[in-house]
Amino acid sequence: MSTVKELVNLGDYFELIVQEDYTDYKSSISLRKCVHLAQSLFHMADWAFSHERAALESLEGRRFESEKDIYPHLALGSSSFGLIRDIANASKHVNLSGKPSTNIKNVTDLKIETSAFGEGTFGTARYGGINPIAFDGDRVVYLDEHMHEVFQYWLDFTNTISTR
């Protein structure tokens, strides 16, 4: 007998898409995996709005008129959400217009830096190896901590709703 997996609810999307993208990203960082993770994290807002709107509104203490209101609100509490939104949108639309949360202008502001321990193209490297970075104006932003923070928010939210 075959097994069919499908995306029916927020938990399915988180488990089958976001968690797998996060695991892939952490196992061996690449530009593709960085973009995929940013996109799947960003689209959690769509799934949360469609499937668990009341729970999200309760958690955040406000009403959302549309899924487009979620990331700007979350970015007020943490710049990581704005950064993830801008990376996801830049990777889809190439150039950002409107009101991005950061100074990221287009997809070319997203890069992978490869360096030896203690040295890097843009100054001193954090750990050596491969580091996903974005140029936020003149500032280099290392993406790992931002990816993790947004992932953790959605993991905690998903765990909260699964225990109801």
Average pLDDT, the chain: 83
- What's the pLDDT score for residue 3? 86
- What's the pLDDT score for residue 22? 97
- For 26-44, give one letter per residue: b (16+ CB within 10 A) or e: eeebeeebbbbbbbbbbeb
Our measurement of the distance from residue 34's CA atom to the centroid of its chain's CA atoms, rounded to an integer in Å, reads 9
pTM exceeding the 0.85 threshold for the entire prediction: no
| Range 55-83 average pLDDT | 92
Q: Would you place residue 139 in the very low, low, confident or very high pLDDT band (cuts 50, 70, 90)?
A: confident
Residue 20 inside a domain? The answer is yes
User: Which of 108-117, 128-137, 142-151 has the largest mean confidence?
Assistant: 142-151
Q: Would you place residue 150 in the very low, low, confident or very high pLDDT band (cuts 50, 70, 90)?
A: very high
Residue 147 inside a domain? The answer is yes
- The count of domains in the chain is 1
Residue 14 inside a domain? The answer is yes
Residue 129 inside a domain? The answer is no
Q: Would you place residue 16 in the very low, low, confident or very high pLDDT band (cuts 50, 70, 90)?
A: very high
Residue 110 inside a domain? The answer is no
CA–CA separation, 35 vs 84, rounded Å?
A: 9
Whole-Å CA distances, 158 to 21, 34, 52, 55, 59: 16, 22, 9, 10, 12
- What's the pLDDT score for residue 28? 84
Can you give the residue range of the structural domain that contains 149? Answer: 10-96+142-162
Dihedral (CA of 38, 112, 22, 3) sign: positive
Q: What is the DSSP string of 28-97?
A: S--HHHHHHHHHHHHTHHHHHHHHHHHHHHHHHTS--SSGGGHHHHHHHH-HHHHHHHHHHHHHHHSB--
| Range 20-46 average pLDDT | 92
- What's the pLDDT score for residue 105? 72
CA–CA separation, 75 vs 45, rounded Å?
A: 12
* pLDDT greater than 60 at residue 94: no
Q: Would you place residue 163 in the very low, low, confident or very high pLDDT band (cuts 50, 70, 90)?
A: low
| Range 40-64 average pLDDT | 95
Residue 102 inside a domain? The answer is no
Whole-Å CA distances, 26 to 77, 80, 155: 25, 17, 16
* pLDDT greater than 80 at residue 68: yes
* pLDDT greater than 70 at residue 108: no
SS (H, E, C) 99-129: CCCCCCCEHHHEEEEEECCCCECCECCCCCE
- What's the pLDDT score for residue 21? 96
CA–CA separation, 53 vs 60, rounded Å?
A: 10
Residue 50's closest CA among 33, 68, 75, 26? 68
